[in-house]
């Protein structure tokens, strides 16, 4: 194995697998417990759903801010501080969250800390590996992340059923404590190119990326695509458990199936992108999401809606998102190949903020019906298609003026 710097290979590999898995678990583990949390705090579903919005807001903003700290102060300090904050905030969620507002604040802190861990894990791969191993462990990172949304709901569903909703945060605490112990024991700094803060936070470079319409267009589509998944995570437990009578464990299996849909879409995209091209695959993802949303809307014409049909249509949307998100990331990075680090962190930040806004909207809207769910999906995908047309128009205009 080609390793640039002599550090504990086993610990690096553990972190490369464990941190992205935690990123995927951050929302999906406790999603089946949302109705139970609502009942526990005697609050509204909207207040509980905002715990997801605030988590994603922290996750989005944290990637940008802590990415700068990681470049200027090193990976180790960010890894250690964020793992400790995540562990303490997870512990506080089940021990000191006496009101929904305290839980909301703690979820914001969890999002910020997971963002720091995510930034460090991505950067460590580049710091430590090169050649084929760089691509190998980058793929492992993506695979581990994708397993979180698949396994998280079923793990969380069983934990909540047998031990109550607080057990999800006990799980987070143990997980965070494990990462903390690894980071505190014989972990050496991997960033050998520490740069000053004024270079890490380059306003001119950042503004150039933000003001580029092509980059922002693809970022908006990618953010909305990922939000389409989180949107159902926000409303799904209430829609399927309260309206259709599913148990927490049954919803966990449904969420597992939907997560597998996204995973399958990602695999199909990976196997066809070289032949079809990333833009064509992106178009395909948008079209099947729109078609599935329109079919969902037509269910309102039926007297009795079969739950399996709804789940199938949501599965297709998740599969379509598996084509959308990877291709928007790739195409946004192509705009600034020499500023891939800055572009990547901004893509992650804006994605988190977009998801936070849309999940906040879901928590305040009357989405607990098939009609409203379908209409919201149609609205989201239509915006993506319009932005895609704008991108293509801008690219054609720029070619004419060259």
**236-258 mean pLDDT:** 88
Q: How many CB atoms lie within 10 A of CB 201?
A: 16
Q: Is the pLDDT assigned to residue 8 strictly greater than 70? A: no
User: Has residue 5 been placed in a domain?
Assistant: no
When pLDDT is cut at 50, 70 and 90, the band that residue 354 belongs to is: very high
**Are 169 and 241 members of one domain?**
no
**Are 170 and 208 members of one domain?**
no
**Are 61 and 158 members of one domain?**
yes
**Are 178 and 230 members of one domain?**
no
User: Has residue 286 been placed in a domain?
Assistant: yes
User: Has residue 193 been placed in a domain?
Assistant: no
Q: Among 137, 154, 186, which residue terminates a domain?
A: 186
**Are 164 and 229 members of one domain?**
no
80 touches 183 (CB < 8 A): yes
Q: For position 160, what pLDDT does the model report?
A: 92
User: Has residue 112 been placed in a domain?
Assistant: yes
User: Has residue 256 been placed in a domain?
Assistant: yes
**Are 178 and 214 members of one domain?**
no
Q: Is the pLDDT assigned to residue 4 strictly greater than 80? A: no
CATH number for the domain spanning 63: value is: 1.20.1250.20
Query: What is the tens place of the pLDDT at every residue in 39-80?
Result: 999 999 889 989 999 999 999 999 888 888 888 888 889 999
Q: What percent of the chain has pLDDT over 70?
A: 93
**Are 35 and 128 members of one domain?**
yes
Q: For position 130, what pLDDT does the model report?
A: 74
**6-28 mean pLDDT:** 80
**Are 18 and 119 members of one domain?**
yes
For the chain, how many structural domains are there in total? Answer: 2
**Are 168 and 285 members of one domain?**
no
**Are 34 and 160 members of one domain?**
yes
Mean pLDDT of the chain: 87
User: Has residue 1 been placed in a domain?
Assistant: no
**Alpha carbons 54 and 37: distance in angstroms, whole number:** 16
Query: What is the tens place of the pLDDT at every residue in 113-123?
Result: 999 998 888 88
Query: What is the tens place of the pLDDT at every residue in 306-319?
Result: 888 999 999 999 99
**Are 270 and 387 members of one domain?**
yes
User: Has residue 174 been placed in a domain?
Assistant: yes
**Are 156 and 207 members of one domain?**
no
Q: What backbone phi and psi angles, to 5 degrees, belong to 128?
A: -100, -40
Q: Is the pLDDT assigned to residue 203 strictly greater than 90? A: no
Q: Among 151, 186, 221, which residue terminates a domain?
A: 186
Length of the chain: 402
For the chain, what percentages of helix, strand and coil (3-state, to nearest 5) are there?
Answer: 85, 0, 15
When pLDDT is cut at 50, 70 and 90, the band that residue 378 belongs to is: very high
Segment of 14-28, 351-365, 382-396 carrying the highest mean pLDDT? 382-396
Crossing angle of helices 340-364/100-128, nearest 10°?
160
Q: What is the sign of the dihedral through the CA atoms of 380, 381, 383 and 387?
A: positive
Query: What is the tens place of the pLDDT at every residue in 167-180?
Result: 999 999 999 999 99
Q: Among 117, 151, 186, which residue terminates a domain?
A: 186
User: Has residue 194 been placed in a domain?
Assistant: no
What residues make up the domain containing 214? 202-401
């Amino acid at each position: 194995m080609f390793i640039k710097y002599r550090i504990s290979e086993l610990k690096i590999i553990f972190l490369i697998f464990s941190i992205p898995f935690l990123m995927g678990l951050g929302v999906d583990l406790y999603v089946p417990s949302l109705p139970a949390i609502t009942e526990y705090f005697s609050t509204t579903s909207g207040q509980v759903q905002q715990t997801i919005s605030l988590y994603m807001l922290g996750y989005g903003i944290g990637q940008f801010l802590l990415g700068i700290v990681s470049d200027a102060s090193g990976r180790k300090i960010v890894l250690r501080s964020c793992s400790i904050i995540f562990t303490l905030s997870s512990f506080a969620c089940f021990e000191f969250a006496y009101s929904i507002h305290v839980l909301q604040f703690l979820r914001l802190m969890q999002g910020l800390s997971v963002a720091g861990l995510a930034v460090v894990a991505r950067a460590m791969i580049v710091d430590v590996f090169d050649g084929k191993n760089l691509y190998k462990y980058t793929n492992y990172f993506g695979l581990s992340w994708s397993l979180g949304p698949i396994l998280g709901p079923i793990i969380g569903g069983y934990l909540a059923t047998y031990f109550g909703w607080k057990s999800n945060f006990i799980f987070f605490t143990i997980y965070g404590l494990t990462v903390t112990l690894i980071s505190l024991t014989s972990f050496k700094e991997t960033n050998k190119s520490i740069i000053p803060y004024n270079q890490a936070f380059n306003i001119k470079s950042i503004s150039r990326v933000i003001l580029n319409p092509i980059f922002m267009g693809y970022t908006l589509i990618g953010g909305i695509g990922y939000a389409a998944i989180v949107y159902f995570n926000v409303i799904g437990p209430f829609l399927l458990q309260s309206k259709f009578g599913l148990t927490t464990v049954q919803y966990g299996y449904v969420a597992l199936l939907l997560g597998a849909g996204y995973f399958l879409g990602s695999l199909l995209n990976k196997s066809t992108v070289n032949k079809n091209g990333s833009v064509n695959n992106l178009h395909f993802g948008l079209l099947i999401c729109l078609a599935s949303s329109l079919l969902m809307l037509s269910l309102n014409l039926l007297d009795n809606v079969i739950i399996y049909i709804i789940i199938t249509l949501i599965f297709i949307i998740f599969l379509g998102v598996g084509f959308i998100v990877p291709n928007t990331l790739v195409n946004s990075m192509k705009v600034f190949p020499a500023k891939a680090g800055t572009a990547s962190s901004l893509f992650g930040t804006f994605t988190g903020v977009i998801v936070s806004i849309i999940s906040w909207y879901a928590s305040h809207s009357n989405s607990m019906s098939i009609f409203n769910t379908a209409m919201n999906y149609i609205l989201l995908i239509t915006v993506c298609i319009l932005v895609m047309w704008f991108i293509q128009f801008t690219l054609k205009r720029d070619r004419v003026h060259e």
